[in-house]
């Protein structure tokens, strides 16, 4: 046990390793934004729906029980953190999951929560 910057430290080596392993602040902010986007149940519904294949905003809004403008707002947030991507076909824009990692993120989160009997 010793003191560092006036703070009590019990395991100096582990503290130093933990501090050195932290990603840069900008990366932490991006991760925070990423996880923040996933806190909305409607956005999670959209991700589940898109897990079955691409849909336009009109079909998505019906499948998740949201208005078209609400679904569009949620899709913009999901696009911002690269969870979904868009493809234009004439006047209609189709949305899909950005890549296979998105399904994996949801799958692993559900498995993790299921371990404790939460789901």
Fold classification of 24-115 (topology level): Arc Repressor Mutant, subunit A (1.10.10)
pLDDT > 70 in the chain, percent: 92
Average pLDDT, the chain: 91
Q: What is the pLDDT of residue 7?
A: 81
Q: What is the pLDDT of residue 12?
A: 85
Residue 29 vs residue 5, higher pLDDT: 29
Query: What's the chain look like in SS3?
Result: CEEECCEEECCHHHHHHHHHHCCCHHHHHHHHHHHHHCCCHHHHHHHHHHCCCCEEHHHHHHHHCCCHHHHHHHHHHHHHCCCEEEEEECCEEEEEECCHHHHHHHHHHHHHHHHCCCC
**pLDDT tens digits, 65-104:** 999 999 999 999 999 999 999 999 999 999 999 999 999 9
Phi, psi of 91 (to 5 degrees): -95, -5
Q: Residue 56: is its pLDDT beyond 80?
A: yes
Q: Tokens at residue 61, please?
A: 């809004």
Q: What is the pLDDT of residue 2?
A: 65
Whether the CB-CB separation of 85 and 102 falls below 8 Å is answered with no
Q: What is the pLDDT of residue 119?
A: 43
């Amino acid at each position: 046990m010793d003191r560092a910057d006036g703070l009590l430290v019990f395991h100096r080596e582990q503290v130093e390793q933990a501090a050195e392993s932290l990603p840069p602040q900008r990366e932490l902010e991006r991760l925070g934004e990423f996880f923040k986007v996933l806190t909305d149940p409607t956005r999670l519904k959209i991700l589940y729906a898109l897990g079955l294949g691409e849909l336009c905003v009109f079909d998505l809004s019906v499948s998740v029980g949201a208005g078209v403008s609400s679904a569009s707002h949620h899709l913009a947030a999901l696009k911002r953190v690269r969870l979904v991507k868009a493809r234009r076909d004439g006047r209609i824009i189709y949305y899909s999951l950005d890549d296979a990692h998105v399904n994996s993120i949801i799958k692993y989160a559900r498995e993790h929560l299921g371990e404790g009997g939460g789901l």
